[in-house]
Structure 1
Amino acid sequence: MTNHTARFDGKTVLITGGTSGMGQAAARRFLDEGARVVITGRDQGRLDAAVKDLDGGDRVLAVRGDAANLDDLDTLTAAVKVRFGRLDVVFANAGVGSFLPIGDITEAEFDRVADINFKGVFFTVQKTLPLLAEGGAIVINASWTLHRGMAGASLYAATKAAVHNLSHTLAAELGPKGIRVNSVSPGYIDTPMFHEAIPEEEQDDVVAAVSAGRLGTSEDVAKTVAFLASEDAAYVNGQDLIIDGGLVAAIAEPSA
């Protein structure tokens, strides 16, 4: 059996939006497997709390910044270069939810969501690419909503479809440079964003739609991201792994 405990010894991993949920779980996973980890977030207080919780000592670098702000991304890449010299993995995770009927979406809301979910991912890759070593890996956080229509998710799902497509085109473009690009599409994951988007009284119905019979956890996603970033996935490129307990592909058995 493969020993995964040191897959990332000596490697440097960047995780945008690493202060909670899937991002923080991924940071902890990579640390546990030997990596040096850089996390970002817009709120300094949450960054400080995440660093304390991760307890990774000098293997953790936290850089405050907005993934949709190019000046902040320049500051981030400069900080990574000074501290660690290079990157081996980028997990473009930063994103926001938006679940409104199409008629209620304002131009300001469109710009907010597109800036973070698409522009932010695009320029995170562009700005960090000079630091990515040959043999590096990029993983983009997409969503199950790009695979199956959900009412009220037109804007959110469109931005996630955009970054999913980006993983395909970048896999073609960066493959000759020895860099793999894949995406993950989480389903209903027990994160702060989930609880903000789904009222408590509706959550039982959400779980009932999942054939696995439960919500996913941030750790479920983190393990998949680590796999895609590792040498275990050395011949996996341009793919999307759906982490949804069967939500997209299987009809849940009605409860008795």
Structure 2
Amino acid sequence: MMTGFRLNLSPLKEPLGFVKLVEWLTAIFAFGCCGGFSGKNVISILCGDGSNETLNAMYQYPFRLSQFPLIDKNTTLCNHSVTTTHMMGDSASSAEFFVGVGIVCFLYSMAALLVYLGYMHVYKDSDFGPIFDFVITAILVFLWLVCSSAWAKGLQNVKSATDTEGISGTLALCKGSNITCEVTEFANMRTLNISVVFGYLNMLVWAFNAWFVYKETRWHSRKFSSQPGPGRHQVPAPI
């Protein structure tokens, strides 16, 4: 059996290769939209004497909000002394898990495409290749479900921690009866919302791809070959 590289683009015309290319692209969108985010919320503070103060709440991936300061050093706001204050919340674990799964799928898709386009003759001639591909694909379907759900919850926590209620609960100054705090400008989280959508889309695409990978395994071929064809009748054994 020859095991050398043989470039053959025909697998891209078949579901097995074409869907793998789609997985490669959707993985890029998923981890790119999440991992490249940085934003700023603007908080307006209305003091009791009618004056206004402004704070900038800046944060970015991996959304370990407790490391981002609302007030960087001791200062005076509305005639009140305010100490260094950081935002509250930590969604780093879910965000990093999501991005990590995306990168793994990106790399695996590239490796699988290399095998499909250059070593398909080896892939089809062995039992190990298709079975390994199917098992990894099934695991990644599950990981996409878990990480997308975790990141969707983590993103909701980020939104809650950076809205007016979350900021007001963090700043002791905002709890005064004559002081009002309000987030007047929000960071554009469209890309983060898109990342969640692409997370679940990846799960569906990988689940769809699992069927075509399964058809390459011996499990499917044995099941198909064991089914009697039309017009076939079992001949009784001689007595």
- TM-score band, normalised by the shorter chain? under 0.3
Higher helix share: 2
Give TM-score scaled by structure 2 length: 0.25
Q: Larger Rg: 1 or 2? A: 2
- The structure whose RCO (Cα within 8 Å, separation 6+) is larger is 2
Give TM-score scaled by structure 1 length: 0.23
